[in-house]
Structure 1
Amino acid sequence: MSDVRVHRTRHSVDVDAQPGVVYGLIADAERWPLFFPPNVHVERLEFDGRDERLRMWATANGDVRSWLSERAQDPAARRITFRQTRPQAPVETMEGTWIVEERPGGGTRLVLLHDFTVAGDRFEDVRWVETATDTNSRAELASLKGIAERWTVLDDLVLSFEDSVRVHGPAELVYDFLYRIGDWPELVPHVSRLDFTEPAPGVQVMAMDTVTADGSTHTTESVRICFPHAGRIVYKQTATPALMEAHTGEWSVVPDATGVTVVSQHTVVLRESAVEQVLGAGAGLPQARRYVREALGRNSTATLNLAKRHAETAVRML
């Protein structure tokens, strides 16, 4: 390994927020998909208060990548070290450190370091990893700065809710309806167009046109990660409507002895600067929260009821 070249990058940003706030956002990796544009989904597999193991999905140069990562949190020093244990080619090794420093004049300097090696050290592969690391690091730091500097109003900007229906039919049929996203334009009335690819098993990348209650159409782009054995589909919108800065969600199918509960969960970060543009002069965050809750809930509930009808009709036809 002595002749393997280690490539190093350094990115930093000054944040007008307390170091504890910045460190807390970095430590809470499961919320990264909501706050960091490249991150699609994070699952915490193990955590003992210091050491943790994560399964992560993120976009890199337009591709959806996945890896396992080990992290060690040090809140006293405000540092978090990380190491990918199962990186995807062409990455051979990837590790680094988040460093949160208090600035003398107040606020925080956040530094992100990466050390990586590339199999064969081919120029084009090294350039690919450098570009992905630089693009993602800049996006993450800029987003984290924006979120941390709005920390005092974050509870008003973040909205989480769920809708559910009870299904008297097989869980497999409910999940099948939710998974077959390519059929939704024929099955789901509010979906007028949907293009999707499945670059890897269980990974779906899609662009969708949705008809709203007033008859207008908006386009979103999403990445979905499917877990058929767990009855779950998680997703992140990578291109959102104007009123939403970020949107993540999950479809879950939960069977029990008498049937199935199917749940749609949403978490949204509102784009405060767009509230009056979308909802009219004088509108504020309370109106935006109600509007988004009703719009997303209406479409989700309609889809849940269609999944319910699909499963229950199939049972009656047997």
Structure 2
Amino acid sequence: MSVQQVHRTSYGVEVNAPAGVLYGLIADTTQWPLFLSPSVHVERLDFDGHQDRFHMWVTANGTVRSWLSRRTLDAAGLRIDFRQEVPAEPVVTMGGSWIVEPRGTGRSQLTLLHDFAVDGDRRADVDWTRRATDANSRAELAQLKEVAENWTRLDGRLLSFEDSVRINGPADLVYQFLYGVADWPERVPHVSRAAVTENEPGVQLLSMDTVTSDGAVHTTESVRVCFPHAGRIVYKQTATPALMTAHTGEWSLIPDETGVTAISQHSVLLREEAVEPVLGPGADLARARTYVREALGRNSTATLHLAKQYAETAVRML
């Protein structure tokens, strides 16, 4: 039996924010898709405040990978150790640590360590994994630094909301409409183009052009992770409009005896420096929150009503 070569990496950054703030951002994996660009979705499986187990999807070297991870949180020691239980090929082991160290009043040092091994220690696979680890780690540290250093304004930049539509039709037809995003240019008036790639079942890469009420066209790119048996599709925009640093969402279906409630949920991290350039002189975060809430809610609710029409029409035709 061959012994796997263990490769190690280390990255660090100084952050002008209290250590507790920085640790809190790292500890809450459910918010990672908003704060860390490589993170697409985190499905938390178990969490007791000390042990955290989750399935996560990330972008790596232009692809989407997923794995099962376990973390041990040490809030007093400002340290989080992690280990992938089921890594993504060609990785056979991957783990490491997040370490936060106070550096005087309101300053911290953040270190991210990795150790990994790949099947057969093939050079091409080692290089691929090292490139992905390097790019993602540097991006994560830079983004955590930005968010932490502006933590006093974070509540104003974060926005979450949902809309729902009641549908007198079967959940599978509604899901079919939401899953079939490639057909939206023919079905959804505000979508003028949709290009979909699904190399792995249930993981869609989407490039879409959306027409706003004033006729402007916005191009967005997203990763969508589909859970057909649960009636859920979660997504993250990997290329966002100017006002948003990050945007995640979810389509979910709650069936009952006579139909289904379809829900559209959005979470957004606003880009504060873009508010005045996009919305005009004097515009503030409150104005941006209203604008984004109305724009996203209008489009997603319109899509839900079209899904309703699709499902209810199909039932009447049957």
Q: Which amino acid aligns with 2:95?
A: E
Q: Which amino acid aligns with 1:134?
A: D
Give the SS at the match of 1:85.
strand
Distance 2:272 2:246 in 1: 12
Question: What residue number does 1:151 align with?
Answer: 151
Q: Which amino acid aligns with 1:266?
A: H
Written as runs of structure 1 = structure 2, the 5 A alignment for 1:1-318 is: 3-104=3-104, 106-318=106-318
Displacement after TM superposition at 1:5 (Å): 1.2
Q: Which amino acid aligns with 1:103?
A: R
Distance 2:302 2:2 in 1: 59
Mean Cα deviation higher: 96-105 or 66-75 = 96-105
Distance 2:100 2:187 in 1: 49
Give the SS at the match of 2:282.
coil
Give the SS at the match of 1:128.
helix
Q: Which amino acid aligns with 1:130?
A: R
Q: Which amino acid aligns with 1:243?
A: L
Distance 1:250 1:93 in 2: 31
Q: Which amino acid aligns with 1:124?
A: A
Distance 2:105 2:306 in 1: 57
Give the SS at the match of 2:275.
helix
Displacement after TM superposition at 1:2 (Å): 7.5
Please give the per-residue CA displacement for 1:251-289, whole angstroms capped at 9, x wherever unaligned: 001101232100000000111111111111111111111
| Preserved contact between residue 19 and residue 106 of structure 2 (Cα < 8 Å) | no
Distance 1:238 1:186 in 2: 24
Give the SS at the match of 1:92.
strand
Q: Which amino acid aligns with 2:267?
A: T
Distance 2:236 2:133 in 1: 20
Displacement after TM superposition at 1:104 (Å): 3.6
TM-score between both structures, scaled by the size of structure 1: 0.98
| Preserved contact between residue 166 and residue 261 of structure 2 (Cα < 8 Å) | yes
Please give the per-residue CA displacement for 1:20-66, whole angstroms capped at 9, x wherever unaligned: 10000100001100100000000110112211211000000000000
Displacement after TM superposition at 1:90 (Å): 1.0
Q: Which amino acid aligns with 1:253?
A: L
**Could you list the runs of 5+ residues in structure 2 that have no partner in the other structure?**
none
**Could you list the runs of 5+ residues in structure 1 that have no partner in the other structure?**
none
Displacement after TM superposition at 1:312 (Å): 0.5
| CA pair 78-239 structure 1, distance change in 2 beyond 3 A | same
| Structural RMSD (CA) | 1.0
Q: Which amino acid aligns with 2:34?
A: L
Give the SS at the match of 1:49.
coil
Mean Cα deviation higher: 98-107 or 140-149 = 98-107
Distance 1:224 1:16 in 2: 34
Please give the per-residue CA displacement for 1:142-199, whole angstroms capped at 9, x wherever unaligned: 0011111111111100111111100000011000000001101110000001111002
Distance 2:211 2:31 in 1: 29
Displacement after TM superposition at 1:89 (Å): 1.1
Distance 2:2 2:173 in 1: 54
Give the SS at the match of 2:306.
helix
Distance 1:171 1:106 in 2: 51
Give the SS at the match of 2:294.
helix
| Preserved contact between residue 18 and residue 105 of structure 2 (Cα < 8 Å) | no
Distance 1:266 1:118 in 2: 37
Q: Which amino acid aligns with 2:93?
A: T
Please give the per-residue CA displacement for 1:218-260, whole angstroms capped at 9, x wherever unaligned: 1000000000000000000000000111000000011012321
Displacement after TM superposition at 1:105 (Å): 5.7
Please give the per-residue CA displacement for 1:83-131, whole angstroms capped at 9, x wherever unaligned: 0011111111001000010014641100000000011111111000000
Give the SS at the match of 1:76.
coil
Displacement after TM superposition at 1:10 (Å): 0.2
Displacement after TM superposition at 1:3 (Å): 3.3
Distance 2:245 2:67 in 1: 26
Q: Which amino acid aligns with 1:63?
A: T
